[in-house]
Protein backbone atom coordinates (compact mmCIF):
# COMPACT_ATOMS: atom_id res chain seq x y z
CA UNK A 1 0.00 0.00 0.00
CA UNK A 2 1.54 3.39 -0.98
CA UNK A 3 2.47 5.80 1.76
CA UNK A 4 0.46 8.96 2.22
CA UNK A 5 2.52 11.64 0.48
CA UNK A 6 0.22 14.33 1.86
CA UNK A 7 1.17 13.35 5.40
CA UNK A 8 4.85 13.26 4.45
CA UNK A 9 4.54 16.68 2.84
CA UNK A 10 3.00 18.09 6.00
CA UNK A 11 5.83 16.70 8.13
CA UNK A 12 8.42 18.16 5.75
CA UNK A 13 6.78 21.59 5.85
CA UNK A 14 6.69 21.55 9.65
CA UNK A 15 10.31 20.37 9.86
CA UNK A 16 11.47 22.95 7.31
CA UNK A 17 9.75 25.78 9.15
CA UNK A 18 11.35 24.71 12.43
CA UNK A 19 14.77 24.47 10.77
CA UNK A 20 14.55 27.84 9.01
CA UNK A 21 13.27 29.56 12.14
CA UNK A 22 16.17 28.21 14.17
CA UNK A 23 19.05 28.42 11.71
CA UNK A 24 17.92 30.80 8.98
CA UNK A 25 17.86 29.98 5.29
CA UNK A 26 21.64 30.09 4.74
CA UNK A 27 22.51 27.66 7.54
CA UNK A 28 19.47 25.40 7.27
CA UNK A 29 20.33 21.74 6.69
CA UNK A 30 18.36 19.43 4.44
CA UNK A 31 19.71 16.50 6.47
CA UNK A 32 18.25 17.92 9.68
CA UNK A 33 14.95 18.66 7.93
CA UNK A 34 14.77 15.11 6.61
CA UNK A 35 15.64 13.64 10.02
CA UNK A 36 13.00 15.80 11.73
CA UNK A 37 10.42 14.73 9.14
CA UNK A 38 11.38 11.07 9.54
CA UNK A 39 12.44 10.48 5.95
CA UNK A 40 15.64 10.10 3.92
CA UNK A 41 17.19 13.22 2.37
CA UNK A 42 16.40 11.85 -1.07
CA UNK A 43 12.75 11.75 -0.09
CA UNK A 44 12.71 15.55 0.21
CA UNK A 45 13.25 15.86 -3.54
CA UNK A 46 9.99 14.08 -4.22
CA UNK A 47 8.30 17.14 -2.68
CA UNK A 48 10.70 20.04 -3.31
CA UNK A 49 13.36 20.53 -5.96
CA UNK A 50 15.60 22.56 -3.65
CA UNK A 51 15.96 24.30 -0.31
CA UNK A 52 14.94 27.51 -2.10
CA UNK A 53 11.66 25.96 -3.22
CA UNK A 54 11.01 24.74 0.31
CA UNK A 55 11.52 28.26 1.70
CA UNK A 56 9.33 29.67 -1.08
CA UNK A 57 6.46 27.41 -0.08
CA UNK A 58 6.56 28.82 3.45
CA UNK A 59 6.71 32.54 2.67
CA UNK A 60 4.98 33.00 -0.69
CA UNK A 61 1.37 32.85 0.65
CA UNK A 62 2.17 35.66 3.10
CA UNK A 63 3.84 37.71 0.37
CA UNK A 64 0.82 37.29 -1.91
CA UNK A 65 -1.53 38.47 0.83
CA UNK A 66 0.79 41.38 1.63
CA UNK A 67 0.97 42.52 -2.00
CA UNK A 68 -2.76 42.06 -2.47
CA UNK A 69 -3.52 44.37 0.46
CA UNK A 70 -0.87 46.83 -0.66
CA UNK A 71 -2.34 47.05 -4.17
CA UNK A 72 -5.83 47.46 -2.74
CA UNK A 73 -4.58 50.43 -0.73
CA UNK A 74 -2.74 51.79 -3.76
CA UNK A 75 -5.90 51.65 -5.88
CA UNK A 76 -7.83 53.41 -3.14
CA UNK A 77 -5.34 56.26 -3.11
CA UNK A 78 -5.34 56.66 -6.87
CA UNK A 79 -9.13 56.62 -7.09
CA UNK A 80 -9.63 59.14 -4.25
CA UNK A 81 -7.06 61.84 -4.92
CA UNK A 82 -9.41 64.43 -3.47
CA UNK A 83 -9.24 62.74 -0.05
CA UNK A 84 -6.19 62.37 2.13
CA UNK A 85 -7.74 59.87 4.55
CA UNK A 86 -5.64 56.75 5.05
CA UNK A 87 -8.47 54.46 6.25
CA UNK A 88 -6.34 52.91 9.02
CA UNK A 89 -3.88 51.53 6.49
CA UNK A 90 -1.07 51.05 9.00
CA UNK A 91 -3.38 49.06 11.26
CA UNK A 92 -4.63 46.91 8.38
CA UNK A 93 -1.07 46.19 7.25
CA UNK A 94 0.09 45.39 10.77
CA UNK A 95 -2.86 43.04 11.30
CA UNK A 96 -1.93 41.18 8.12
CA UNK A 97 1.72 40.92 9.17
CA UNK A 98 0.69 39.45 12.52
CA UNK A 99 -1.75 37.06 10.87
CA UNK A 100 1.37 35.65 9.14
CA UNK A 101 3.83 36.35 11.92
CA UNK A 102 6.08 33.30 11.50
CA UNK A 103 6.27 33.86 7.76
CA UNK A 104 7.30 37.49 8.24
CA UNK A 105 9.87 36.44 10.82
CA UNK A 106 11.33 34.19 8.14
CA UNK A 107 11.27 36.98 5.55
CA UNK A 108 12.71 39.70 7.75
CA UNK A 109 15.03 37.85 10.10
CA UNK A 110 15.87 34.49 8.52
CA UNK A 111 16.06 34.99 4.74
CA UNK A 112 19.78 35.83 4.36
CA UNK A 113 21.09 33.90 1.37
CA UNK A 114 17.67 33.44 -0.19
CA UNK A 115 16.05 35.49 -2.95
CA UNK A 116 14.00 37.21 -0.25
CA UNK A 117 16.88 38.70 1.72
CA UNK A 118 16.11 42.16 0.30
CA UNK A 119 12.36 41.90 0.87
CA UNK A 120 12.12 45.06 3.00
CA UNK A 121 14.33 47.05 0.63
CA UNK A 122 12.33 45.88 -2.40
CA UNK A 123 9.09 46.82 -0.65
CA UNK A 124 10.51 50.30 0.03
CA UNK A 125 11.38 50.65 -3.67
CA UNK A 126 7.78 49.81 -4.60
CA UNK A 127 6.54 52.38 -2.08
CA UNK A 128 8.83 55.00 -3.60
CA UNK A 129 7.59 54.33 -7.13
CA UNK A 130 3.93 54.35 -6.11
CA UNK A 131 4.28 57.53 -4.06
CA UNK A 132 6.06 59.36 -6.89
CA UNK A 133 3.29 58.36 -9.32
CA UNK A 134 0.67 59.50 -6.82
CA UNK A 135 2.38 62.87 -6.35
CA UNK A 136 2.58 63.32 -10.11
CA UNK A 137 -1.15 62.61 -10.36
CA UNK A 138 -1.84 65.21 -7.69
CA UNK A 139 0.22 67.76 -9.64
CA UNK A 140 -1.61 66.94 -12.86
CA UNK A 141 -4.90 67.56 -11.01
CA UNK A 142 -3.72 71.04 -10.05
CA UNK A 143 -2.52 70.31 -6.52
CA UNK A 144 0.64 71.93 -5.22
CA UNK A 145 3.35 69.52 -4.07
CA UNK A 146 6.56 70.76 -2.46
CA UNK A 147 9.85 70.15 -4.22
CA UNK A 148 12.03 67.71 -2.29
CA UNK A 149 15.45 66.11 -2.32
CA UNK A 150 15.28 62.59 -3.81
CA UNK A 151 17.91 61.21 -1.45
CA UNK A 152 15.92 62.44 1.53
CA UNK A 153 12.76 61.02 -0.04
CA UNK A 154 14.46 57.63 -0.43
CA UNK A 155 15.68 57.64 3.18
CA UNK A 156 12.32 58.69 4.59
CA UNK A 157 10.42 56.13 2.53
CA UNK A 158 12.81 53.37 3.57
CA UNK A 159 12.44 54.37 7.22
CA UNK A 160 8.67 54.37 6.86
CA UNK A 161 8.55 50.86 5.38
CA UNK A 162 11.08 49.50 7.87
CA UNK A 163 8.94 50.86 10.71
CA UNK A 164 6.20 48.35 9.87
CA UNK A 165 8.51 45.42 10.51
CA UNK A 166 10.16 46.71 13.68
CA UNK A 167 7.52 45.08 15.94
CA UNK A 168 8.43 41.71 14.41
CA UNK A 169 12.17 42.10 14.99
CA UNK A 170 11.57 43.45 18.51
CA UNK A 171 9.26 40.60 19.50
CA UNK A 172 6.11 42.63 20.16
CA UNK A 173 2.88 40.70 20.58
CA UNK A 174 -0.08 41.52 18.34
CA UNK A 175 -1.76 43.85 20.84
CA UNK A 176 1.43 45.86 21.24
CA UNK A 177 1.99 45.89 17.49
CA UNK A 178 -1.51 47.15 16.77
CA UNK A 179 -1.09 49.98 19.29
CA UNK A 180 2.20 50.83 17.60
CA UNK A 181 0.48 50.83 14.19
CA UNK A 182 -1.99 53.46 15.43
CA UNK A 183 0.99 55.49 16.66
CA UNK A 184 2.63 55.16 13.24
CA UNK A 185 -0.45 56.67 11.61
CA UNK A 186 -0.45 59.58 14.07
CA UNK A 187 3.27 60.12 13.62
CA UNK A 188 3.94 59.65 9.91
CA UNK A 189 0.79 60.87 8.16
CA UNK A 190 0.92 64.51 9.37
CA UNK A 191 4.69 64.57 8.85
CA UNK A 192 4.42 63.35 5.24
CA UNK A 193 1.66 65.85 4.48
CA UNK A 194 3.60 68.73 5.93
CA UNK A 195 6.84 67.79 4.23
CA UNK A 196 5.19 67.31 0.84
CA UNK A 197 2.81 70.23 1.27
CA UNK A 198 -0.30 68.22 0.40
Can you say how many angstroms the Cα of residue 35 is from the centroid of all Cα atoms in its chain? 30
- The dotted CATH code for 1-48 is 1.10.10.60
Residue 1: pLDDT band with limits 50, 70, 90: very low
Cβ atoms of residues 67 and 40 within 8 Å: no
Question: What are the residue boundaries of the structural domains of the chain, listed by start?
Answer: 1-48, 58-196
pLDDT at 30 over 50: yes
Per-residue pLDDT of 41-75, as tens digits, reads: 999 999 999 999 999 999 999 999 999 999 998 88
Q: What is the mean pLDDT of residues 125-148?
A: 94
**Would you state the pLDDT for residue 83?**
54
How many CB atoms lie under 10 A from the CB of residue 40? 12
pLDDT at 136 over 60: yes
**Would you state the pLDDT for residue 80?**
66
Residue 127: pLDDT band with limits 50, 70, 90: very high
Q: What is the mean pLDDT of residues 106-132?
A: 96
**Would you state the pLDDT for residue 198?**
87
pLDDT at 113 over 80: yes
Please report, for residues 26, 82, 153, 163, the alpha-carbon distance to residue 60 in angstroms, rounded to integers and kept in the order given.
Answer: 18, 35, 29, 22
Residue 77: pLDDT band with limits 50, 70, 90: confident
Is residue 94 exposed (0-12), middle (13-18) or buried (19+ Cβ within 10 Å)? buried
How many CB atoms lie under 10 A from the CB of residue 52? 14
Helical spans, DSSP H, in 38-83: 41-44, 51-79
Q: What is the mean pLDDT of residues 160-184?
A: 96
Q: What percent of the chain has pLDDT over 70?
A: 93
Please report, for residues 101, 131, 135, 162, the alpha-carbon distance to residue 153 in angstroms, rounded to integers and kept in the order given.
Answer: 29, 10, 12, 14
Q: What is the mean pLDDT of residues 83-111?
A: 89
Cβ atoms of residues 98 and 174 within 8 Å: yes
Amino acid sequence: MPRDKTESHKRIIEAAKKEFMEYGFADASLRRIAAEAGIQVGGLYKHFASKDEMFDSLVEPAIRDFHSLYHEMEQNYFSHTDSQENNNEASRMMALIYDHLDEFKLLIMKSQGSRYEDFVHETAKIEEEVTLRYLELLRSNGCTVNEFDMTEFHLLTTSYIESFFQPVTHGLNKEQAMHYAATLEQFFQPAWKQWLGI
